[in-house]
Amino acid sequence: MAERFRKSLDFRINTLYIITQGLYWMMVCCAVSMGSAYLSNRGYSTFAIGLLFAISYLFAAIIQQVVSVATDNATNFDVMDILGALGIIITIDLLISLCTNGHSFMTGLTFLIAAMLTTTIQPFLNALNFHIEKYGIEMNYGVARASGSFFFFVMSLVAGFFMKAFSVKAAHFFGFFISAGFTYMIIWIFRELKSTGMKVKNEYDPFEQSSHDNFDMRFVKEFIDKYKMFFVFLIGLMCFYFGHIVVNNFLYQIGVNVGGNEATNGGLLAVQAIVELPAMIFYNRLRDRFGNKLLLGTSAIFYFLKLFFTAIATSVGMLYFSMLFQSLAFALFIPASVHFVDEIMPKSDAVKGQAFVTIAMTFSSLVASILGGLIINLLGVTATLWFATIVTAIGVVIGIYGLFRINIQK
């Protein structure tokens, strides 16, 4: 394998990209997924934590659009420069976070910056796959993304253990080295591509077309009129994704509610990551056999089952059981939503349709972060989970109805 790595550019680039995806998802674990445990142990209320999550999601969405437009219009930098710059900023930010004390302004600010920029990176890292292919290199994105879940699984266990055994700063300590490694891998890939001597034009923009379309009220109204049932589905999506975000953002509080700790938080995240792998790896086979519509409906139902069993959990063991439903919830939802949009819309509308899916997910994330933190503060974890379960159930009904009617409309 070492000889193949040395001689084959395709194999070498694919290996580097797989490692880069893995490091990115480890970074997500340290900077975002462990955020609730990190901030709670430093004196932040659940409402403040939810607010920080919401702000990070909002700013990430704005930055993604701004940077995308800038990249599309620029001739002297591309997606690799963006990824390298973001990696450097996150590395510096996480280093500064190790010097912060307790419930301080800098603690919240450094977390916000890390979570915001880590979230910002994702579409550009995915875009890197297409950028590399322009050099004539055949990429295997599925394997790379699946490796990300495996790396996340490992990091969840390691970070959770060290946060419990030593310090809550352990997550950001590991995150610092991981983000530095991520930046180095981006530089390595850049050098490998540069060594080919090829000059690539028309950079792949993760927000191509959608960032330039005029999303004014008239356009939105016309698009809704054209795809009514699709927007009914999006209403359902916002509801069942609400529950997903509540569980993810406040998983630490949910674990503590039944006797868990930081190590439990890491273990629960690890289970979610590892059970996602089969559906991600074999998604194309599942799609060919069952179709995108059925897979989307299945993911919505499994979101509800995950919320329901999380709400009734009275022990850490029951929480671990509820995380198993992630296997056919989030793992199916992400690829199915993309393929389904392409399936029900012509190419000219598919990019816009996917933009509306992203907007719905972002809006749901914002509301879930703020409302989830507020309800936990006022009524506790159990009441919040039951509220999220009810919202999710409503979303499943609306979402499946919309999916069913889309075929009739078509």
- The pLDDT tens digits for 310-320 are 999 999 999 99
Residue 86: the pLDDT is 93
For the chain, the domains span 1-199, 217-410
Compute the distance between CA of residue 169 and CA of residue 167 in angstroms, rounded to an integer.
Answer: 5
DSSP string, 159-179: HHHHHHHT-TTHHHHHHHHHH
Distance of alpha carbon 149 from alpha carbon 276, whole angstroms: 7
* Class of residue 338 by CB neighbours under 10 A (exposed 0-12, middle 13-18, buried 19+): middle
User: C-alpha angle 156/159/161, rounded to 5°?
Assistant: 100
Annotation: CATH topology of 1-199? Growth Hormone; Chain: A; (1.20.1250)
Both tokens of 178, joined, read: 């991981």
What residues contact 241, with CB distance under 8 A and at least 6 apart?
Answer: 303, 360, 361, 364, 365, 368, 395
The percentage of the chain sitting over the pLDDT mark of 70, rounded to a whole number, equals 92
User: Quick one: pLDDT at residue 409?
Assistant: 47
Chain centre to alpha carbon of residue 101 = 28
pLDDT band at 410 (very low <50, low <70, confident <90, very high): very low
Q: What is the pLDDT of residue 206?
A: 52
Q: Which residue has the tokens 């995380």?
A: 323
Model confidence pLDDT, tens digit, residues 346-401 = 776 777 787 888 888 889 999 999 999 999 999 999 999 999 999 999 999 999 99
Average pLDDT on 171-188 reads 94
Across 2-6, 87-91, 153-157, least confident range: 2-6
**Of the candidate ranges 57-66, 206-215, 264-273, the one whose mean pLDDT is the lowest:** 206-215
* Token pair in block for residue 85: 């710059």
Mean pLDDT of 327-348: 83
Contacts of 108 (CB under 8 A, 6+ apart): 39, 44, 48, 52
Where on the phi/psi map is residue 140: left (φ > 0), alpha (ψ -120 to 50), or beta? beta
- Asked whether residue 26 carries a pLDDT value surpassing 70, the answer given is yes
Check whether 203 has a pLDDT greater than 70. Answer: no
191 contact partners, CB below 8 Å, separation of at least 6? none
> Which CA distances in Å does 291 have to 173, 210, 283, 287, 335?
43, 26, 10, 5, 12
Q: pLDDT tier at 195 (50, 70, 90 boundaries)?
A: confident
Residue 209 has pLDDT above 60, yes or no: no
Q: What Å distances lie between residue 276 and 49, 150, 186, 246, CA to CA?
A: 26, 9, 26, 19
For 370, the token pair is: 């703020």
Alpha carbon separation from 109 to 51, 106, 215, 337, 347 (Å, rounded): 12, 5, 32, 33, 41
- Do 228 and 409 meet the contact criterion of CB atoms below 8 Å apart? yes
Q: Residues 246-257: what's their mean pLDDT?
A: 93
What average pLDDT score do residues 285-290 get?
Answer: 88
The one-letter code for the residue type at 363 is F
Give the residue carrying structure tokens 């960032």. 211
Predicted local distance difference test score (pLDDT) of residue 288 = 87
Polymer length in residues for the chain: 410
Band of the pLDDT at 211, cuts 50, 70, 90? very low
Residue of 116, 79, 110 whose CA lies nearest to 92: 110
Cα-to-chain-centroid distance, residue 211: 20
Tell me the CA distances in angstroms from 206 to 65, 160, 264, 344, 384, one per residue in order. 9, 33, 36, 21, 35
Alpha-carbon Rg for the chain in angstroms = 21
Instruction: Quick: pLDDT tens for 94-130.
Output: 999 999 888 888 999 999 999 999 999 988 888 888 8
User: pLDDT for 121-163, tens place per residue?
Assistant: 988 888 888 888 888 888 877 788 888 888 999 999 999 899 9
- CATH code at 217-410: 1.20.1250.20
- 410 DSSP assignment: -
Looking at every residue in the chain, the average pLDDT score rounds to: 86
Check if the beta carbon of residue 242 is closer than 8 Å to that of residue 140: no
Structural tokens at position 336: 């199915």
Structure tokens at 65: 């659009």
> Which region holds residue 203: left if phi is over 0, alpha if psi is between -120 and 50, else beta?
beta
Identify whether the C-beta of residue 111 lies closer than 8 Å to the C-beta of residue 52.
Answer: yes
Q: HSE of 97 in the Cβ direction (CA atoms, 13 Å)?
A: 31
Whether 217-410 and 1-199 are alike in CATH topology: the answer is: yes
Cα(383)–Cα(308) distance, integer angstroms: 12
pLDDT at 54: 93
